[in-house]
Amino acid sequence: DVKVTQSSRYLVKRTGEKVFLECVQDMDHENMFWYRQDPGLGLRLIYFSYDVKMKEKGDIPEGYSVSREKKERFSLILESASTNQTSMYLCASSLPGYNEKLFFGSGTQLSVL
């Protein structure tokens, strides 16, 4: 089975801190994604990547950046965390091509105080 691992289950940071959320997948998937999930809003796509060193903005990229230096790892970076970035962050990966299944990690609940 595909495994998508997110480095932390819970994270508490202070306003203004730089935050790194790490995601690693073990099935050699080309595609990787970062979503955030908020009550009443569903999942919203932040950034995605179709290959190493490649990134594309999703629906809500403001305040975030990403890094994909290796195929198996996709990092989400909050340059200066703010309280409105308190959320559940979900990483996913998939094979290339259309309509491939997304495989999700268990999520990181980030609280910014």
Contacts with another protein by CB under 8 A lie at 4, 31, 33, 35, 40-45, 48, 58, 90-92, 94, 98-107
Quick one: 77 or 103, whose CB is closer to another protein? Answer: 103
In the complex, least distance from residue 14 CB atom to another protein, rounded to whole angstroms = 25
User: Going along 9-107, which residue ranges are E strands?
Assistant: 10-13, 19-25, 31-38, 42-49, 56-57, 65-70, 73-78, 87-94, 103-104
Supply the Cα-derived Rg of the chain in whole angstroms: 13
Quick one: 16 or 98, whose CB is closer to another protein? Answer: 98
Quick one: 48 or 78, whose CB is closer to another protein? Answer: 48
In the complex, least distance from residue 106 CB atom to another protein, rounded to whole angstroms = 6
In the complex, least distance from residue 56 CB atom to another protein, rounded to whole angstroms = 8
Residue 40, classified by CB atoms within 10 Å of its CB into exposed (0-12), middle (13-18) or buried (19+), is exposed
